Structure 1
């Protein structure tokens, strides 16, 4: 993610300290710290809602959408931690005024916001809960943000809403509220491109879906993704898919879907020609690397590289695509990639069939491509493979800055499963 986005978030979180010296005089330091934690939670949640809008400036400030969504997740988790600490540490101060019915209501809504957000954050990081159920509950986060904002506005605090810090927090709450209402607005109010399914091609369990525009088409770059809503298949929630075709003058799009999760399995079963599709995007900066490159596409991770290969100029520096798969019989877009390799001397295609050659590793990649250290490596595929390559490629002469990967996941955990696996492995090692 972009440094300026992180700096902006850090500056916004620290901004209350501009007025802290005057506020802190004669106050209980512990209670004041608890008050600050409450402000920090609101600021973090406002940024999280802002990123969720996917407004055009979001990627410009915070980085490609895959990275912005990781920041979105951690802002939400950080806000939850701050709220828990705020609730645990006594924030009450003497001499701030008399409690009224409005103050009591604000306190009640603050409690509701705390427990509601806690439940929703647990649902978010518990990735075994089906995607469509998580997506349905996730929309309530904005409601609990509004409860939290009401709690802040009318609770007794060591400054007034008209003071500089109060005005600053008005802006924060306003941005978060506006962002929430935007993401919750009826779909007709938000810009969408309308398409229709023109053709469906099967590749074993995967399908390629060709879309024809019904009106003004989407303009994208090779390697980008978009959010697709398949209304005709009763799939009301939009889901991100990489566009697996290069930009065309006609505006036609193609996406390739494999049944890897709850929603993608439903999509692959429910689609049919003639169904309406709404498209929001495009997003992402994947594939912008310059110079000699190695592309690694594992399984359905081949999709961005199909579009990039279609758009590859013939006078480009050499590009080698490693297509990792288990069986070439039903490999998506294999014939298409072979035709591009036959027509473009700058593009080389290598099939890496794991039952025959084993799983691709950094060492095996270096042995296959002796000039690996002089190339940039682009990867799209399983997270476990990405982590292994990221860890081992520097030993083969590829620095971290030359390893690029598509990290977009609309929903991720926080590493609990990996931590449990590590503990189990340590336990088994001690037994041995």
Structure 2
């Protein structure tokens, strides 16, 4: 995450405290603190809504889209925590005026906002709920943000809506509401590029979908991803796919679809030549290396950004050792293409790692292939998260710092790591039991 984005969030949360000394005079500071917690909750949720728009400039401010989405998740969690604290700590103050029907309605709106957001946060954390159901319910969170805004506007508070703090919160709520309306609008009215599927070809256990622009082409860099909506196939909801081809003069794109979930399994059966595709993007900064030697580690369909990067690798570019890990060679997407690229470019060395024959790929094996000491070497990885964590830990012993281990995880939906934490606790308990015996 970029420091600039974190600073924006910090400043946005601290601005209300500019008026704290003035407002807190002769006031119950505990109740005032509770009201401020409510303001911070609204600010967190508004910033989360803004990041979700994927507007131009979001990546420049908050970081690559995978990092921005993680920030979006933690802003949502921060909004819920501050909202719960606001509800728990009594925020009522004496001498603010008489409660009216509007004030009572505002209190009801606040309760609706609280319980609605809590329900949808539980749905988000429960990653076993199907993606399409989560995506549909996730859009409704913005309605509870609006309800929280109505609660704030009409509730009794120690400042007026026309005061500087009130005007600041007007701006926060306006931006958050505009962002919610934008993300909820029909997909067709959002900026995007129109493409048409040219061909579909098998690539190992995946399918390569090539498409041509119908109008202005997407301008991307090797290693980036975009959101694709296969409208003619009946899938209007955009999904992220890495572009598995380097930029071309004719604007053609290629993505590689592997059967990794319900959506990709259905898509493989529904997509066909001549169908329309709507593309939004590009996003991501994966593969932006230096002039120093690099190691690329791809696992399965995680090879897609590296295919594009290999196509774009110049003959005078950095030396690259690429390791492609698959179970069997016949399952490896774009293997023949990579072999041809490696044969044509002396700066690219390709090693195929078949786990069915050689076992699991480890940091020790990568170091052995690359020649030992890896201190200062940039390693880029794309593949399963469990493999990424294991390799990151083992490669640290060979001098590959976290700063030099690069990956991009653009999961739109992630939990809070509770499953991994539970597995860790179970492992430690088993170790303790074995030690006791």
- Please confirm whether the aligned pair reaches a TM-score higher than 0.5, indicating the same fold: yes
- SS of the residue corresponding to residue 345 of structure 1 reads coil
Deviation at 1:197, TM superposition (A): 1.1
Tell me how far apart the structure 2 counterparts of residues 161 and 406 of structure 1 sit (CA, whole Å): 43
Give yes or no for the alignment of 1:322 onto 2:335.
Answer: no
- Structure 1 CA distance, aligned partners of 2:391 and 2:11? 34
Structure 1 equivalent of residue 128 of structure 2: 128
Deviation, 1:281, is 0.3
For residue 416 of structure 1, the aligned residue among 411, 415, 418 is 418
Counterpart contact for 1:123–1:129, Cα < 8 Å: yes
Contact 1:132 1:237 in 2 (8 A): no
- The aligned residue for residue 309 of structure 2 is 308
For residues 241-293 of structure 1, the C-alpha deviation after alignment (integer angstroms, 9 at most, x for no partner) is 00000001111100011121232222223211221110000001111111211
Q: In the alignment, what sits opposite 1:384?
A: 386
CA distance in 2, matches of 1:16, 1:266: 49
Aligned to 1:35: 35
* Aligned equivalent of 2:431, options 426, 429, 432: 429
- Which residue in 1 is equivalent to 2:401? 399
Deviation, structure 1 residue 391:
2.1
Q: Please give the per-residue CA displacement for 1:342-372, whole angstroms capped at 9, x wherever unaligned.
A: 0000001011111222222222211221252
The answer to whether the 8 Å contact 2:120/2:141 transfers is: yes
Equivalent residue of 1:56, what SS?
coil
Following the alignment from structure 1 to structure 2, what is the Cα–Cα distance between the partners of residues 355 and 205? Answer: 15
What is the match of residue 285 of structure 1? 285
CA–CA separation in structure 1 for the residues paired with 2:374 and 2:354: 20
In the TM superposition, 1:1-400 aligns within 5 A as 1-291=1-291, 292-370=293-371, 371-400=373-402
- Secondary structure of the 1:272 match is coil
- Separation in 2 of the partners of 1:332 and 1:325? 9
Distance 2:422 2:24 in 1: 43
C-alpha distance in 1, partners of 2:395/2:126? 31
Deviations 1:151-202 (A, max 9, x none): 1111111111111111111111111011111111222321111111111112
Which shifted more, 415-424 or 309-318?
415-424
May I ask how many residue pairs the two structures share in their alignment?
432
CA contact (8 A) 2:187 2:236 kept: no
Deviations 1:91-137 (A, max 9, x none): 11111111111111111111111111111111111111111111111
CA contact (8 A) 1:229 1:238 kept: yes
If the length of structure 1 is used for normalisation, what is the TM-score? 0.98
187-196 vs 45-54, which moves further: 187-196
The 3-state SS of whatever aligns with 2:92 is coil
Q: Is the 8 A contact 2:205 2:332 kept in 1?
A: no
- Root mean square deviation, CA, Å: 1.2
Shift of 1:204: 4.4
Q: Could you list the per-position Cα deviations for residues 310-364 of structure 1 after superposition, in whole angstroms to 9, with x for gaps in the alignment?
A: 0111111201111011010131000000000000000010111112222222222
Answer whether contact 1:194 1:279 (CA < 8 A) is retained. yes
Q: 1:213 to 1:144 in 2, by over 3 A?
A: same
3-state SS of 2:30 partner: helix
TM-score normalized by the length of structure 2: 0.96
Cα distance in structure 1, aligned partners of 2:333 and 2:144: 43
